[in-house]
Structure 1
Amino acid sequence: MKSFFSVLFIIGITFIVGLEALKPEESAAEKKLLNECKNLAEATDDDVNLLLERKVPEDYKGKCLLKCAYEKSGVILEGTFSIEKVKAFGTKLLEDNTKALGIFNEMIVECQTVADPDICEQSAKFMDCMIKAGLERGIDPKKGIKESIGSI
């Protein structure tokens, strides 16, 4: 059975790019995490549903909902977005698939300079960049890299 940290890790990476489709138990944990963050960010059910659909939030509270999910999954540490943590998570998750890992690394290179002084805005900009970089490479954010590369 996966540890809670592993589930948070997968959820965090899923919000970044959808490295892999979530299993049912991970999906339930994702919903629980988002509902906890919903209250902290004063977000709405629509904001939660948008993230569950792997879409970048447009309103500020939705962006802060995403920031909270990144914080709880360890991607944001002490108010700072950690590209190194993203790289480490992706490498660990994709280590058994060199093609997927190569695509992920290309996407990270493309998006690693995304910045904004507001961490909520930066969270949304990074997710947007990673989704666009993935789409350019044939990655469906709902399916994830592993499943998508089978059809590339």
Structure 2
Amino acid sequence: MKYLIVLVVVCAAVSFSEQAMTKEQVMELYNKMVEECAKKESGSSTDIEEVFAKKLPSTKNGKCIHACVGETTGLIKDNKVNVEGAIAMAKMVYDNDAAKVQMANDLANDCIGVTDGERCEAAFKIIQCSEQAHKARGVSFLDLSSN
């Protein structure tokens, strides 16, 4: 979950910058995005705390916060992983670092078949898949970060 969310935020942040962002810039944007999505999705303070603690959401509204973040950044489209969106964002976030962009592509493709008819449940399943994919590949988001 934490990997997908942080990647999502990083990707959104990059749309504002032509260079790779620092970890601090990414986290600042991520925090703002979570707060905005929590408002939009009627998330509670507990839902927000779970996101920031990098825990799987325990409520429907918490799942919907993740759906909002994924949709806002283009990483989730039509209730599934948007590989093209992940690649485009990775190119911006990682300043076209070919190895990191390829890893982002591979991770997105690991979860390509994960979906659900309900957007919040789809986001939850994608988060679970993303966590498993990162573990299986032995990488964390921080391994992909450039700064």
Normalising by the residue count of structure 1, what TM-score does the alignment of the two structures yield? 0.68
Tell me the CA shift for residue 111 of structure 1: 0.7
Letter in structure 2 aligned against 1:140: S
2-structure distance, mates of 1:144, 1:52: 19
Tell me the CA shift for residue 41 of structure 1: 1.3
SS in 1 for 2:43: coil
Tell me the CA shift for residue 119 of structure 1: 0.9
Give RMSD over aligned pairs.
2.9
1:41-120, aligned counterparts within 5 Å?
A: 41-76=41-76, 80-81=79-80, 82-94=82-94, 96-120=96-120
2:135 equivalent in structure 1: 135
Deviations 1:25-47 (A, max 9, x none): 33222222211211221212222
1-structure distance, mates of 2:98, 2:42: 40
Letter in structure 2 aligned against 1:74: G
Matched, 1:24 2:24: yes
* Residues 138, 80 of structure 1: alpha-carbon distance in 2 compared, 3 angstrom cutoff: closer
- Count of paired positions: 132
SS in 2 for 1:55: coil
Deviations 1:112-147 (A, max 9, x none): 111110111111211221121112222224x24246
User: What residue ranges of structure 1 are gaps of 5+ in the alignment?
Assistant: 1-7, 14-19, 148-152
Would you say the 8 A contact 1:34–1:48 is kept in 2?
Answer: yes
* Residues 76, 65 of structure 1: alpha-carbon distance in 2 compared, 3 angstrom cutoff: same
Would you say the 8 A contact 1:70–1:76 is kept in 2?
Answer: yes
2-structure distance, mates of 1:49, 1:76: 22
Tell me the CA shift for residue 62 of structure 1: 0.6
Give the % identical residues.
Answer: 20
2:144 equivalent in structure 1: 145
* Residues 131, 144 of structure 1: alpha-carbon distance in 2 compared, 3 angstrom cutoff: farther
